[in-house]
Structure 1
């Protein structure tokens, strides 16, 4: 019998465990109304995963938060590349630890696709600011036109770790979120008039 079903009827962690215990080779394809994921296995271990936006462990962590969608396992499919070789139990344990934390982060960061910019006049003095190396790295990449997801990739952070850093920076009143612009084809004139975004890092001092 083919391994397929609906996430409303089957817990995704149980499906992944079944593939792992059976030491299966192939791809688990999961589809929702707005997203799609593929998780590739070799001998029951995850070797590659992707969604519409994420790749690797970020994709796994994201998919494990889905509660709706259809899934199907295709044993004939092979991974386009191998970026990991991790027992699924490790990924499930990590995801379980992060689910509650994500709920807390999402109260401040509803989507990692939102743009980030500096607060023009932070309600805090520069003497009060003592930033960590991770926070400085994140701040150095803010242009006002990049999303949290973009900056996570540039900083080589997981999306979860980047979101944690941004949670602190936003809660401290140093940076703010902006809605991304609607996707429209920019005219040639707008492209020519586009200016380099301003960076306002002079306010901060290294601690």
Structure 2
């Protein structure tokens, strides 16, 4: 899977959702307006981030353990690179990205302090109204919790507000109802719903189409009367 795009039209919530779904290892490269950063992905989890001055150098180092040894970074300090070069930049909407699977070998266990589920929810809190509207386009939409939603949110570390929104999702309340009953501003509610959708903790409830009777009661009564006359 080769994934490329522009951050102005493709949010990090969507990027993280794909990484979580596919559980691939590789390198996510983002060319921000002020720097280029390589994010190292192991089985769908982002484990390390570093700025690079030449893109080709990202693919020159193929062994992860050797790379961090060369950079003199301990495994315990890997999460700090994610905080500095990813989390602080999630609000930026300018830049292009590409994910290339492979290239890097992980020969040992790497600590995951920022599970991809947690990153999805952090990123959802930075969504603009325009980004949110791509999935929460109608206040009459109704969502329901997935059967395994507790497992989906286990690593996400929801805020109290996000937990409140999740509990209001019941397959009956519309987005409008949840906005009203939560007491939260609309953007917070919609961002939360977007993030929960990306986690697959909730899903859109399809409206059941009522089947029209193939024969009307009046016509049925006439048929019965005709049969009695035979």
**TM-score, length-normalised on structure 2?**
0.37
Higher percent of residues as helix: 2
**Which structure is larger by alpha-carbon Rg, 1 or 2?**
2
**TM-score, length-normalised on structure 1?**
0.40
Higher relative contact order (CA 8 A, sep 6+): 2
